[in-house]
Structure 1
Amino acid sequence: MNISFFSNLFLWLLFITLPETVFCQSADFIIQDVKFESQGVTLAGSILKPKNPFAAVVIVHGSDPVKREMEFAKRLAKEGIAVLTYDKRGVGESGGVYVGPSVGTNNIDTTNLNLLSSDANEAVKILRTYLKDKKIPIGLVGFSQAGWIIPIAASKNPQIEFMVLFSCPTITTLEQLRFQFYTNGNNNFWENHTESDAREHTKNDPDRYQFVATDPKNSLNTLSIPGIWLFGEKDIQIPVKWCMEQLNTLKAQGKPFEYTLFSKLGHNTAFDNDRVPVDISIQWIKQKTFNIKKSKVSK
């Protein structure tokens, strides 16, 4: 009886002292809830940590009021990648104010994009403290709007060593809005419009919002870390062929950037039933982080 009592007491005390750690049913990784400060607010998230991670990533949100991306994070963690995913500023348990299309405001002005890039960088810092091996490469993985946020964050943070961008623009914020207004949510847009027609409108249509445009190429031009973009050819949020052309220009300048086009997919390359885009990104992370580690050893 005494042994049982003390055993139960020990377990009870253990759960009190470690309330944020939860062991997954698969036993592939543990999940630990964390909080961190960024630009005057407290953000809340979860770290998914495999036993011996070979890489680590912070997940960067799209434009919607998104909580932590747990299912996506679990998919990465099961492959040996440590992940920090957090509730977007002003969403879920995170402090601050969400601004974006879901509340009818503009969320891609320069001020907000820089603010969100600061959140991503603070997430990178906190994730590093939870990794035993301080040499594990850390990267950013993001969706859509993250195409502007990730390059800004990476250009300011040397800890970021690679980036994975699902359906992310390489055009300016104003150009993207013009394209999005032109397609107007029509899923059959590409059945009735040509590439040249869409590009002409995107370059010349009047702007409905007035703000200084953010051009991700300004940050991308400063980076020498590897990056991969995963596009869906049927995307009606961003003009992917134009984005690929701009990446080709950057590649010709020696930038270690790659992209893959999926002919049957639209904007949700990361969350479609087709698992291939995410599988490709995982294999790419394995390859690039292996190369990063090898280059560190040779120095």
Structure 2
Amino acid sequence: MGRKILKYLSILLALIILVLLGLYIIPPKQETIEYDYAEIERNPLVNSKIGWYEAKYGKNYQITWGAKQGLQLNLFDFDRDNIKSLRLKKIKENEYDTNNDPNTVEVRFKFNAENTSWNIDVNTSKTKLQAIKRDSLFYDQEEIEFYNGAQRLAGLLLTPYKNTKSVALVLIHGSGISDRDNFWYMHQAHYLASNGFIVLLPDKRGCGKSNGEWHTASFDDFASDISSALNYLLTNKQSEFNRMGVIGLSQGGWISHIVNQNNKDLDFVIDVVASTTSPNEQVKFEVMNEIKNSGVPEFIANPLSLVFAKRAQGKRRIWWDKNGEFDPIPLISKTTTPVLKIFADQDENVPVQRSLERLNELLKNNPDLPVDVKIFKGSSHALFDSETNWIRRDYLDYLIFWISKI
């Protein structure tokens, strides 16, 4: 018995020492972020290649601008095994490679003068196809730039040829480096645009072709960027829609409520897998799950999560000092704009139970708040379907349903 007590005391002492080391004695090294901004493509010949290409068996491939230099080839599907997303790096005028080998031409464009259209020939180790460009498929694409003061921002604007919804959407990115090349975002933008919505998918500040720094920015800074995107739509596309909303994805679901507070023209807000706790509380939950998944017992994972979360925050001290204590509940409590909160019940990044407790308490005290909650069972943070290992269709269909009914 005495040995067991001594063993547990030794473990406790080791944890205390580890906590002290992690929090105070050995400070984490500050992360260095290097920014490399790309420019908007202005070559008319390159831009003429943008569009949809029809191949055999009814497959339609998208050619679009990459967030970096070059083009992007995408094939959308709800089965992960079928999707494709290839970065095309220019070698010569109509020749590209996909594997960073300038000596290997894997993609060729050829202009067919007879039918005044582009043909594409793709020949990589995993993808072989020939396709012809078709006009008026799905939606038109524009690479746009807009400004938040002196800050130049960029993005991809998708305008459906059949504008059946008369609704414009702006997507708000999650944490870290994130731009239009992230296929998780691009797939959602594509599906919504294919179903009649105008969709603006910006490059987050400091990412892709948007200038600025994301790792020193506050949520107010990000929200101001999104307000500039909304203003761009109001200035350039207002005749094409009569309602406008934002979709905050993950971290974007904190920023969305600042956008809502600052924009009278907003008709709805959708938060997807976003916590209603502060970022400080959320990151401790996320780190604790990472530790538990490595095989550490929960009674040890809990105190360790405090250490590792604190060290993770210390690597980006400026960002966490600005945003760590942000609480979305006071802003949600004042909303007159309809809000949809979407959660995944197996999310290990977001404390869903705690988030729901806070929401339920808010709605109990404010029963007339226009806030709806939807929980998707059997999915984690990315809202994947367990069978297809990709974004579940019923989630995206629910977005369309909810927007149509408000």
Q: Say yes or no: does 1:150 pair with 2:256.
A: yes
Contact 1:185 1:236 in 2 (8 A): no
For 2:274, the equivalent position in structure 1 comes to: 168
The higher radius of gyration belongs to 2
The sequence identity of aligned pairs, in percent, is 27
Pick one of 323, 333, 346 that aligns with 1:221: 333
Give the direction of change, closer, same or farther, for the CA distance of 1:185–1:59 in structure 2 (3 Å limit). Answer: farther
1:126 deviates by 0.5
CA distance in structure 2 between the aligned counterparts of 1:91 and 1:31, rounded to whole angstroms = 20
Match runs of 1:112-127 below 5 Å: 112-127=218-233
Give the TM-score of the pair, scaled to structure 1.
0.76
Letter in 2 for 1:93: K
1:22 deviates by 5.0
Q: Say yes or no: does 1:96 pair with 2:219.
A: no
Match runs of 1:69-148 below 5 Å: 69-99=185-215, 112-133=218-239, 136-148=242-254
Larger % of strand: which?
A: 2
For 1:57, the equivalent position in structure 2 comes to: 169
CA distance in structure 2 between the aligned counterparts of 1:29 and 1:135, rounded to whole angstroms = 15
Post-superposition Cα deviations, 1:110-159, rounded to whole Å, max 9, x if no partner, equal x5111111111111111222324376111001211012100011111111
For 1:40, the equivalent position in structure 2 comes to: 150
For 2:13, the equivalent position in structure 1 comes to: none
Give the direction of change, closer, same or farther, for the CA distance of 1:76–1:188 in structure 2 (3 Å limit). Answer: farther
Post-superposition Cα deviations, 1:87-123, rounded to whole Å, max 9, x if no partner, equal 1111111111231xxxxxxx7xxx5111111111111
Q: Say yes or no: does 1:277 pair with 2:277.
A: no
Larger % of helix: which?
A: 1
Letter in 2 for 1:156: N
Which moved further from structure 2: 65-74 or 112-121? 65-74
Post-superposition Cα deviations, 1:42-88, rounded to whole Å, max 9, x if no partner, equal 11111111242421110000003111233321110111111111111
Give the direction of change, closer, same or farther, for the CA distance of 1:186–1:142 in structure 2 (3 Å limit). Answer: farther
CA distance in structure 2 between the aligned counterparts of 1:171 and 1:45, rounded to whole angstroms = 29
1:238 deviates by 1.1
CA distance in structure 2 between the aligned counterparts of 1:93 and 1:161, rounded to whole angstroms = 28
Alignment: residue pair count: 258
Give the direction of change, closer, same or farther, for the CA distance of 1:43–1:223 in structure 2 (3 Å limit). Answer: same
Give the direction of change, closer, same or farther, for the CA distance of 1:34–1:84 in structure 2 (3 Å limit). Answer: same
Post-superposition Cα deviations, 1:161-216, rounded to whole Å, max 9, x if no partner, equal 10111100111121112212222265589xx869xx99x98xx9577247361101
Contact 1:186 1:236 in 2 (8 A): no
Give the direction of change, closer, same or farther, for the CA distance of 1:229–1:21 in structure 2 (3 Å limit). Answer: farther
Q: Say yes or no: does 1:257 pair with 2:257.
A: no
| Cα RMSD, aligned residues only | 3.2
CA distance in structure 2 between the aligned counterparts of 1:21 and 1:95, rounded to whole angstroms = 26
Which moved further from structure 2: 178-187 or 252-261? 178-187
CA distance in structure 1 between the aligned counterparts of 2:221 and 2:193, rounded to whole angstroms = 27
Contact 2:173 2:204 in 1 (8 A): yes
Structure 1 gap segments, 5+ residues each: 1-14, 100-106, 289-299
